[in-house]
Homo-oligomer: A and B are copies of this chain.
Amino acid sequence: MHSIKELQQIIDKAVKEINYPATPNELYEPIAYLMALGGKRLRPALVLMATDLFGGDIEAAKPPALAIEMFHNFTLMHDDIMDNAPLRRGQPTVHEKWSDSVAILSGDVMFVKAYKLMIQVKPEILIPVLEVFNKTAIEVCEGQQIDMNFESRNEVSIDEYLEMIRLKTAVLVGGALKIGALIGNASAKNADLLYKFGENLGLAFQLQDDILDVFGDPEKFGKQVGGDIISNKKTYLLIKALELAKGNDLAKLNDWLSKKDFIAEEKVEAVSALYNQLNIRELSEEVMQSYAKVALDAFEQIDVDVENKKTLLNFAEMLVEREN
């Protein structure tokens, strides 16, 4: 078995070794730029971890792992245009540094490159692998669309929110793991259990992200704490707070949500205080833990030597306990 760190390093090295054509450079420079910005390489590492779990060949899992990383970065490139995001990992986004057109078209090429990498799996598993990948890709797009729709809606229910993050974030965790399982010749039952583990872990991961955005330690979090509060992002925390707040609290919360001019720190402080009063942190952590539990229950049922399970178990713990 390989450690998480080892697997992340394998991915990092493989990402650096990808060759891009020289021309047209408006197409390939942005791809190389975004891929080099780093990130934790968690999704591709998951492909390798899943293959490793079933004693499969890590080498064979590298191209599809890179496919997952390429796909993930393609979605970031396009999402950043749609979200008007100026920065990605502290650096200018591709559409800012070049143009919207460049970001659209470079993204499209990344998507083809993802398929080119993905079809390098063994022919025997090509169709099931592509079926997982296609389904996942469509669901991620659906999740992004639903997320954008939320911005112009007044009310979003908890269930709608959870379905959105399932599509936008969690299915790719499940999909990466399932593809790795198929490469490792896992049985259909084990592959499905690993998907379930990933999907629920992905939900827990996103909920933890939402919690950290409000309650994270600014020193450790890596981005501005309170960003979601400042932008009125409809996260689990806000939706729950709107559900629970009554009378004066609800009026105060709605007042902050409707304010156009405000001092960011004041808004973050005031809304956080309301969250504290309503026990939002504990409630969010409870639901996050409940997803982590569903994930771990599915994982436990996977029929493979318990020794092999250590890396993914560590990984799951790391995700849920992380501070950034």
A residues near B, CB below 8 A? 24, 26-27, 78, 81-82, 100-102, 104-105, 107-109, 111-113, 115-116, 119, 123, 126-127, 130-131, 134, 137-138, 141-142, 144-146, 148-149
Contact = CB atoms under 8 A, between A and B. Distances in A.
Contact of A82 (B104, B115, B137, B149): B104
Given A101-B148, A109-B141, A119-B131, 20 more contacts: A24-B142, A26-B145, A26-B148, A26-B149, A82-B100, A82-B104, A82-B105, A105-B144, A105-B148, A108-B108, A111-B111, A112-B134, A112-B138, A113-B138, A115-B134, A116-B134, A116-B138, A119-B134, A126-B126, A126-B127
A159 to B, nearest CB: 14
Contacts of A108: 78, 107-108, 111, 137, 141
Contacts of A104: 78, 81-82, 104
A262 to B, nearest CB: 27
A263 to B, nearest CB: 30
Given A119-B134, A126-B127, A127-B123, A27 B112 contact: no
A315 B103 CA distance: 37
A145 B27 contact: yes
A253 to B, nearest CB: 28
Contacts of A81: 100-101, 104
Contacts of A141: 27, 105, 108-109, 112
Contacts of A145: 24, 26-27, 102, 105
| Majority DSSP secondary structure for residues of A touching B | helix
Contacts of A102: 145
Nearest to A111: B111
A181 B105 CA distance: 29
Nearest to A131: B119
Contacts of A113: 138
A136 to B, nearest CB: 9
A149 B25 CA distance: 10
A98 to B, nearest CB: 11
Contact of A130 (B24, B107, B115, B146): B115
12 contacts: A24-B142, A24-B146, A26-B148, A27-B141, A78-B105, A82-B100, A101-B148, A107-B108, A111-B111, A116-B134, A123-B126, A123-B127
A97 B223 CA distance: 36
A170 to B, nearest CB: 17
A99 to B, nearest CB: 9
A105 B141 CA distance: 7
A24 B149 contact: yes
Contacts of A137: 108, 112
A109 B78 CA distance: 12
